[in-house]
Amino acid sequence: MRRTILAITLAACTLLVLAAFAGCGDAGGEAEPAPGPRVFTDDLGREVTLEQIPQRIVSISPACTEILFALGLGDEVVGVTEYCDYPEEALAKPEIGTFTAPNLEAILAQDPDLVLATGGVQLELLDRMEETGLTVYAVNPMTFDQTAAAILEIGEVTGAEQQAEEVVADMNARAVDVARRVNEMEAGGEERPRVFYEIFYENNVWTAGSDSIISDLIRLAGGENIGDADTSDYYEFSVESLIAENPQVYLVGSGSMFDPGDITGRSGWERIDAVKDGRVYVIEENLVYRTGPRLIEGLEAILAAIYPEE
């Protein structure tokens, strides 16, 4: 009889202990619900459903690739374009084609649970990718502020919210320093100099219009973009118009897409004030074209050209 009572007592104690453990972590005593599908709206207004935090990500945008690595998600990246050359670790990832023509078979072979894309020339690709069963999220920032917002978006989608907030906090703090410098120059009576940005040159010059990320950077850095005369993002600008506009600061991108060579030796350029005054500056093109974490470096480079330190 005593053994029976002891067994019943031990069983009751065991049940009490199990009940206590079951209530841990929930003040109300209710178990936390299992995480379900999450629905996001990307920059193109498309609803994207994710069943879980992505573990295998393909990036078909160099800017998105840079964002992923900045958020500490390099191990989750299983495919990139041949133009994804930063950081160096991205070069070791499998290539899935080019920025404008990613290879769908190569993407599918990586079995991704998320593909990160952008707008523009990639728009027509999105439907084709989704028809194959791929989950695609697109970001399409056109300004510095929108770039910061896109980084936060990707952080939320990939479960790296804290890292994204840290990256954006650094970008914004440095942008505040740029704004302070510009305000100091304007408070001292300096007018915004006329700035021309050269993207490509062959017979005529291609430049950045008012809807481009470059125009936004020039404005933030305290310059007046001559290319704002057109609302396009990028367009052709005649040499005659360039000489007539006579920019005070001449910026030109250089990198894998274009090598400007010696601008000062071009016929007619000697009449431009920026050339006369030695204010021609070459900027690494990826710092101003890629809407990722290094965009702040592009902004700082433009500021240094427009308002060089004494």
Per-residue pLDDT reduced to its tens digit, 58-89: 999 999 999 999 999 999 999 999 999 999 99
- CATH at 249: 3.40.50.1980
Residue among 14, 281, 293 nearest 165 (CA): 293
How do residues 117-162 score in pLDDT, each as one tens digit? 998 888 888 989 999 999 999 999 999 999 999 999 999 999 999 9
Q: Mean pLDDT throughout 44-52?
A: 94
| Same structural domain, 207 and 252 | yes
Q: What is the pTM of this model?
A: 0.86
- Indicate whether 36 pLDDT > 80: no
| Same structural domain, 112 and 171 | no
Distance separating alpha carbons of residues 116 and 135, to the nearest angstrom: 9
Distance separating alpha carbons of residues 208 and 205, to the nearest angstrom: 10
Cα four-point dihedral sign 279, 282, 287, 289:
positive
| Same structural domain, 200 and 132 | no
Q: What is the DSSP letter of 102?
A: B
| Same structural domain, 45 and 114 | yes
In this structure, which amino acid lies at residue 137? Y
Structural domain including 267 reads 167-306
Residue 58 domain-assigned (yes or no): yes
Of 122, 140, 158, which marks where a domain is finished? Answer: 140
Of 123, 140, 157, which marks where a domain is finished? Answer: 140
Q: How many domains does the chain have?
A: 2
Residue 275 domain-assigned (yes or no): yes
Q: How many CB atoms lie within 10 A of CB 160?
A: 22
Residue 148 domain-assigned (yes or no): no
Q: What is the DSSP letter of 211?
A: T
Residue 97 domain-assigned (yes or no): yes
